[in-house]
Amino acid sequence: MTPDYTYSYLTVAVMGLLDVVFVLGLLGISRLIQRRHTYPEKLTPYECGIPPVGDSRTPFAVRYYIFALLFVIFDVEAVFLFPWAMVFRDLGMTGFVEMMIFFAVLLFGLIYAWGKGALEWL
């Protein structure tokens, strides 16, 4: 190894060490100046502003999870439309046909979910 490579690795090692020292220093300073007043309300679990009452293992309806998953799936797939729209003219007829197939799959999925009742909230 030439000395140039050694200095490059040494620079990275020194920067990494400085990063660790900086983070540990900030954590130490915050630990020294923090307030240590604990009271019962501060120690209770916080769940969206609602006081936790009852058993935490109560079952939720699966339809809420399915509704959320469908939202994420269609939201992520909608993101694919923006890059396609930006290069639409460059892709030509092949890009148009591929995107129509993509739309058909999305439409089929939406119709299937609607038919199964996954889009009904209550």
The C-alpha atoms of residue 5 and residue 103 are separated, in whole angstroms, by 52
Condensed to tens digits (0 to 9), the pLDDT of residues 54-85 reads 776 777 677 778 888 888 888 888 888 888 88
The C-alpha atoms of residue 82 and residue 84 are separated, in whole angstroms, by 5
- The arithmetic mean of pLDDT across residues 4-19, rounded, is 88
**Does the structure show a pLDDT above 60 at 1?**
no
Q: 3-116 has which fold? A: Methane Monooxygenase Hydroxylase; Chain G, domain 1 (1.20.58)
Rg (CA), the chain: 27
- The arithmetic mean of pLDDT across residues 2-9, rounded, is 74
Helices (H), the chain: 3-33, 40-43, 62-79, 81-86, 88-116
The residues facing 50 across adjacent strands are 47
